[in-house]
Structure 1
Amino acid sequence: MKHFVYILFSETANKYYIGETNNLERRLEEHLSHFFENSFTKIAEDWELFLKIECKDIFEARKIERHIKKMKSKKYLENLKKYPEIIKKLKEK
């Protein structure tokens, strides 16, 4: 089953959020409606999809999600979008 790593961005909070899911549309709606009461995304109302990475399965998605979070860098997130070859290399690891 396909999975996605997704990155959301809030202009008002000037923050990114990184997650993974097998149903991107549902997950975005959950973030926007504050479905999860203690979620980080509760800090803003204007989350938008910044980037999505389609993965072959949950294991690949979680590995990539962990890697991206470990980088702790807004510049890295922006470079992921700017240079798709970075994503290709992440999938090959």
Structure 2
Amino acid sequence: MQREFSPTTYLLASARNGTLYVGVTSNLLGRIHQHREGTFKGFTDRHGVKRLVWFEQHSTMEHAITREKRIKKWDRAWKLRLIEEGNPDWRDLAEDVGFPALGVMSVGLT
């Protein structure tokens, strides 16, 4: 079970090879809930980016923020490779911690 404060860098996707979002949080489950419910207004809400496809926990928030900033500067191909190394089927990892399935993920454009 995840601690209440667990610095995490994460990637969300709208679909396989779809729109990507890189974020950081101290409460991954709470943040995923916000993204799914649309209460986290902005880019992810406008583009339907709700599927957790990659995450990495860190010892400090400073490390998580540094990692987020680095990943945001990466080329798209590097981000896709990061996802596919750990999640080749682009499964919605939020389902593993009890979130309901969002439906069939279609193949997006690259």
TM-score bracket for this pair, using the shorter chain length = 0.7 to 0.9
1:3–1:23 contact (8 Å) kept in structure 2: yes
Unmatched 5+ stretches in structure 2: 87-110
**Does residue 1:50 correspond to 2:48, yes or no?**
no
For 1:11 and 1:2, how far apart are their aligned partners in 2? 26
**Does residue 1:75 correspond to 2:77, yes or no?**
yes
Among 54, 61, 64, which residue is 2:67 paired with? 64
> What is the TM-score normalised by the length of structure 2?
0.65
1:28-64 Cα distance to aligned partner (Å, 9 max, x none): 1101111133x10112446211100111110000000
Deviation (angstroms), 1:74:
2.2
2:44 aligns with: 41
Unmatched 5+ stretches in structure 1: 84-93
> What is the TM-score normalised by the length of structure 1?
0.75
Mark the CA change 1:42 to 1:13 in structure 2 (over 3 Å): closer, same or farther: farther
For 1:58 and 1:46, how far apart are their aligned partners in 2? 23
State the AA in 2 paired with 1:60: H
1:12–1:46 contact (8 Å) kept in structure 2: no
What percentage of aligned pairs have identical amino acids?
25
- Which one has the bigger strand percentage? 1
